Chain A
Amino acid sequence: MKPFDIVIVGGGGAGLYAAMEAMKTNPALNIAVLSKVYPNRSHTSAAQGGANAALANKAKDDTVEMHIFDTIKGSDYLADQDAVDVLCSEAPKIIRELENIGTPWSRMEDNTIAQRPFGGAGRPRCCYCSDKTGHTILQTLYEQCLKKGVKFFNEYFALNLSVSGSRSNGLIAMNMKSGKVEAFPAKTVILATGGYAKMYWNRSSNAAGNTGDGQAIAYRAGIPMKDMEFVQFHPTGLRKSGLLVTEGARGEGGYLLNKDGERFMARYAPEKMELGPRDLVSRSLETEILQGRGFDSPAGKYLHLDLTHLGADLIKSRLPQIREMSMNFEGVDPIEEPIPVRPTAHYSMGGIDTDNQTRTVMEGVYAAGECACVSVHGANRLGGNSLLDILVFGRIAGRTAAEEAGKFTPNTISEAELTEQLQEIRGGMHAAGHYERYGELREELGQTLALNVGIFREASLLQKGIADIAELKERFKKVRIFDTSDVFNTNLMQVLELKNMLDLAETVAAGAYARQESRGSHTRIDFPVRDDANWHKHTMATLVKGKVTLGEKPVTMGRYELQERTY
């Protein structure tokens, strides 16, 4: 295949924005977008609440500076302040740009883009389209990419980067429709594959495919992962499925109640109440449950998210999807009764280490979105900042790769390398002695992570988690693939996804064990306070000779000094 200037892996918000921006920057470039699903299926579509930008449509005194401060404080001072500057300064421009190309937004009375309050934000600056914001943004970006004639390779599963020394030759991927392993030689590769929080499996709000493919590919190529131990638990997952009820539900005025009917957030965040930052609210729910103030059910303990006082009209117009999901998956109509909820693994703050221009340490390899860690979210992401992150840094990635592609001479990917990859994924498939079921391994991985590397962590639990993951990796060597066909082998794909999750789970647990402090989403019972003297730094996890090796990187400070974080 003729070498590409840019190969983008992932067709969600970050990947599509990158494609659009790259074509705008230099229309002559040969660009491909690979995605393991049709781009419009990507998990960006599940983002309900909205995207933060200091447009000051609702609160006239809102400023970019306030957005910057809220984000840094929300991150528990682990975010790099220069990166947060970029995120928040670009925000108004990028939301307007999205509006200008046709994204539907809910509107204020003066016909400007509507904004609502969100957790951890000092002003109502979350721009939204009822509770389908991510969906409408994704549709719009996909439509615009079709308009621009972006070359899509849909249902291609990315396997590995092809690497020569310090730079990549491009990507190796499996065509799901044919089962063939194909080469995508490229001057530059942008990884934009989303997060890894699905490793918590049934205790995760994520789509089945959010298995950290991009991170695992980079990790195997020797690129460091940053702050992997920081996994955000969203306070309000549905009890049974872990599926998400948007923070917008609390933004619109929903209450969190324990079994005594008490608005318990008064104990933990007396000022912000239900709209405290996610890490704090999740811990509050978990504490209520641990202290016996939760409801009991065979599907687990839970609390109530009460919207009944908001009235049918508001629920129908602003939170229709939430109502539909509550009815479909819990049999509860939020107009009539409270929704049963408990915290669910939702977002990975950690990811591929990049600079503010989305460059990784490997020449010609870039990363953007949840897949990357710039870092703008630090130890805890604010609601409404993830859509913003994928848009802002997706665009930067597209522009940077387009500008820098010319620097690199195209390399080739050898037939031998493809054969080797094919042998690796298909070779042991039906060999005798393979009996482990991937479904069981996957469920066990989720269980041990939720139990031992979950909201509350401590040394003994983490050691157990690390041992469990190691054992699962051993068992994985005996995994059986039952589907022998080449065409659309979803069995094989799910096994490869599990491999990615196992590789990354190791870095999450290792980082969590090493970090002897509590910061943001990472709460150590045995080290309950933030320890700035020893731990105000990023964790870097690199694969060295098959083992996770931890290092560190300083946090870039700026205008804001370290402060205690209260709400």
Chain B
Amino acid sequence: MTLPTDQHTEGKKNVTFRVFRFNPQVDSKPYFDDYTIPVEKGITVLRSLNYIKEHIDGSVSFRAFCQAGICGSCGMRVNGLSQLACTTQVWDVLAKSREPGIIKVEPLRNLPLIKDLIVDMDPLVDKMKRYSNWVDSTMPEAEMGKKEFLISEEEFLRYDKATDCILCASCVSECSILRANKEYVSPAVLLKSYRMSVDSRDSLHEQRLAELVKDHGVWDCTHCYRCQESCVKSIPIMDAIHGIREDAIESRGMKDTSGSKHAEAFMMDIEKKGKLVEATLPIRTNGVVWTMQNLLPMALKMIMKRRTPPPPPLVKSAKGIKIFRQMFREMTEHVKQDHKSHQ
């Protein structure tokens, strides 16, 4: 059995697709089924799955629609990495496969499992609603259709890349915060929020931002960059997240959230010592009361295990701190000027 393609000269490889299986009606826990098929160069993971479904096992369940990388239906984990099955070449995956000849196919993480490779997308939609992921036009409904907003190419370029998002949820699946906290806003929703907020036609900026700085919001991101690395459309998602944070500090000031205070404390440490003074970071971020209530048990455990960070007086300045401070001041100056020229 061979999938049709035109590169007969390239030969075929026997590939085992190790597919995650779970049918909630009969299975108490998930398992894997192996399907081995010969695959030629140029065949995608989706075409292979279609072949398995049509010719070997009709019960293997997955979503697929456009098959051209634009609808976002077939997000899944291929050898551990979240991506679109329809744009992923089997041979490319094989070349990097840890187990030779085996491709493991699993559902996206961080969304409730429905069956086999199908996960529930509703939580993502609910978050789009919570964070008002739409433009609330400054134009009254009665006036609509009469004239265009005049928008510069420069403004268009601010959200152009972000509007490439096809909500495939690869970033959601890869996000390390979501693994710990399912309520976290999630990278795709932050990206969309950013896209709306830099659109001059939108009037919800303040309201959206007020929601984004609450718990489970923009300050929960830990900059692991996995969302950006896994984005199937190569969207710089972290730029959007940073954009929202800068926006929050600029328009809401430093004092309203622990996130912004954390960022400020970070910056002060770096400027002063060239490294972090970790022992006091929680106090400066969340205050003494919160730290005593929430971190004391952990601090005690850390002491028992001799894992405590050094007390502030023992944190020496990093080597070359003078040159570093100079550079730091220049950078800060640059950023300030940048902000001014944007306004």
Distance, CA A240 to CA B156, complexed state (A): 35
- CB of A77 within 8 Å of the partner chain: no
Give the Cβ gap from B148 to chain A, nearest Cβ, in Å. Answer: 5
- CB of A567 within 8 Å of the partner chain: no
Given A38-B121, A207-B66, A207-B71, CB of A96 within 8 Å of CB of B136? no
Q: A105–B133 contact, CB under 8 A?
A: no
Distance, CA A45 to CA B42, complexed state (A): 25
Q: B145–A97 contact, CB under 8 A?
A: yes
Q: A43–B66 contact, CB under 8 A?
A: yes
Q: B147–A102 contact, CB under 8 A?
A: no
The chain A residue sitting closest to B143, CB to CB, is A100
**Hey, what's the 0/1 contact readout for B274-309 against A, CB within 8 Å counting as 1?**
000000000000000000000000000000000000
Q: A482–B151 contact, CB under 8 A?
A: no
B144 neighbours in A (Cβ, 8 Å): 96-97, 100-101
Which residues in window 233-274 of A have CB below 8 A to B?
A: 240-241, 243-244
Which residues in window 82-101 of A have CB below 8 A to B?
A: 93-94, 96-97, 99-101
B25 neighbours in A (Cβ, 8 Å): 485-487
B66, B114, B134, B153: the one contacting A488 at CB < 8 Å is B114
Q: B115–A491 contact, CB under 8 A?
A: no
- CB of B167 within 8 Å of the partner chain: yes
The chain A residue sitting closest to B165, CB to CB, is A139
Q: B23–A487 contact, CB under 8 A?
A: yes
Q: A299–B6 contact, CB under 8 A?
A: yes
Which residues in window 109-137 of B have CB below 8 A to A?
A: 114-116, 118, 121-122, 125, 128-129, 132-137
A37 neighbours in B (Cβ, 8 Å): 63, 65, 71, 73
Give the Cβ gap from A35 to chain B, nearest Cβ, in Å. Answer: 11
Give the Cβ gap from A19 to chain B, nearest Cβ, in Å. Answer: 14
A45, A96, A484, A487: the one contacting B71 at CB < 8 Å is A45
Distance, CA A109 to CA B63, complexed state (A): 42
Given A43-B66, A107-B152, A439-B54, CB of A146 within 8 Å of CB of B134? yes
Q: B133–A146 contact, CB under 8 A?
A: yes
Q: Which of B7, B67, B71 has the most CB of A within 10 A?
A: B71
- CB of A426 within 8 Å of the partner chain: no
Distance, CA A510 to CA B121, complexed state (A): 42
B133 neighbours in A (Cβ, 8 Å): 143, 146
Given A45-B166, A112-B150, A143-B135, CB of A100 within 8 Å of CB of B201? yes
Distance, CA A51 to CA B40, complexed state (A): 39
**Hey, what's the 0/1 contact readout for B61-78 against A, CB within 8 Å counting as 1?**
111111111111100000
The chain A residue sitting closest to B232, CB to CB, is A324
Give the Cβ gap from A125 to chain B, nearest Cβ, in Å. Answer: 14
Which residues in window 24-41 of B have CB below 8 A to A?
A: 24-26
Give the Cβ gap from B165 to chain A, nearest Cβ, in Å. Answer: 8
Which residues in window 201-240 of A have CB below 8 A to B?
A: 207-209, 240
Distance, CA A440 to CA B255, complexed state (A): 65
Q: B8–A298 contact, CB under 8 A?
A: yes
Which of the 9-residue segments A130-138, A353-361, A533-541, A555-563 touches chain B? A130-138
Distance, CA A491 to CA B7, complexed state (A): 30
Q: B134–A105 contact, CB under 8 A?
A: no
- CB of B246 within 8 Å of the partner chain: no
- CB of B330 within 8 Å of the partner chain: no
B8 neighbours in A (Cβ, 8 Å): 298
A132, A146, A321: the one contacting B128 at CB < 8 Å is A146
Interface size grouping (class) on chain A: 35 or more
Q: A102–B66 contact, CB under 8 A?
A: no
The chain B residue sitting closest to A132, CB to CB, is B164
A111, A244, A299: the one contacting B150 at CB < 8 Å is A111
- CB of A284 within 8 Å of the partner chain: no
A-B pairs under 8 A by CB, number = 188
B65 neighbours in A (Cβ, 8 Å): 37, 41, 43, 207-209
A24, A55, A139, A480: the one contacting B141 at CB < 8 Å is A24
Q: Which of A100, A136, A144, A489 has the most CB of B within 10 A?
A: A100
Give the Cβ gap from B340 to chain A, nearest Cβ, in Å. Answer: 24
Distance, CA A143 to CA B195, complexed state (A): 12
State the main secondary structure of chain B at its contact with A. loop
Distance, CA A321 to CA B87, complexed state (A): 12
Q: B150–A491 contact, CB under 8 A?
A: no
A488 neighbours in B (Cβ, 8 Å): 61, 114-116, 118
Q: B135–A325 contact, CB under 8 A?
A: no
A96 neighbours in B (Cβ, 8 Å): 144-148
Q: B132–A147 contact, CB under 8 A?
A: yes
Distance, CA A94 to CA B146, complexed state (A): 9
Distance, CA A488 to CA B165, complexed state (A): 26
Given A45-B71, A207-B66, CB of A439 within 8 Å of CB of B145? no
Given A112-B150, A207-B67, CB of A485 within 8 Å of CB of B159? no
Which residues in window 164-220 of B have CB below 8 A to A?
A: 164-167, 196, 199, 201-202
- CB of A40 within 8 Å of the partner chain: yes
Q: A325–B149 contact, CB under 8 A?
A: no
- CB of A553 within 8 Å of the partner chain: no
- CB of A22 within 8 Å of the partner chain: no
Give the Cβ gap from A546 to chain B, nearest Cβ, in Å. Answer: 28
The chain B residue sitting closest to A110, CB to CB, is B150
Q: A41–B73 contact, CB under 8 A?
A: yes
Q: B139–A100 contact, CB under 8 A?
A: yes
Q: B23–A437 contact, CB under 8 A?
A: no
Q: B135–A483 contact, CB under 8 A?
A: no
- CB of B163 within 8 Å of the partner chain: yes
Give the Cβ gap from A547 to chain B, nearest Cβ, in Å. Answer: 30
B70 neighbours in A (Cβ, 8 Å): 45-46, 132, 135, 321
B59 neighbours in A (Cβ, 8 Å): 482-485, 491
- CB of A409 within 8 Å of the partner chain: no
B42 neighbours in A (Cβ, 8 Å): 240, 331
Give the Cβ gap from B300 to chain A, nearest Cβ, in Å. Answer: 47
B256 neighbours in A (Cβ, 8 Å): none
- CB of B239 within 8 Å of the partner chain: no
What would 16 A/B residue contacts be, using CB atoms closer than 8 Å?
A24-B141, A45-B70, A100-B139, A100-B143, A100-B149, A102-B201, A136-B163, A147-B134, A298-B5, A298-B7, A298-B8, A299-B6, A321-B70, A439-B54, A485-B23, A491-B61
Further 15 A-B residue pairs, CB within 8 A, beyond A488-B114, A488-B118 = A38-B167, A46-B68, A46-B71, A96-B144, A102-B196, A104-B160, A104-B163, A109-B153, A112-B150, A135-B70, A143-B134, A146-B129, A298-B6, A325-B69, A487-B24
Top 10 A-B residue pairs of the complex, sorted by shortest distance between their CB atoms: A102-B135, A482-B58, A439-B54, A299-B6, A143-B134, A298-B6, A483-B59, A111-B150, A97-B145, A93-B145
Which A residues are closer than 8 A to B by beta carbons? 24, 37-38, 40-43, 45-46, 55, 93-94, 96-97, 99-102, 104-107, 109-113, 129-130, 132, 135-136, 139-140, 143-144, 146-147, 154, 177, 207-209, 240-241, 243-244, 297-299, 321, 324-325, 328-329, 331, 437-440, 480-491
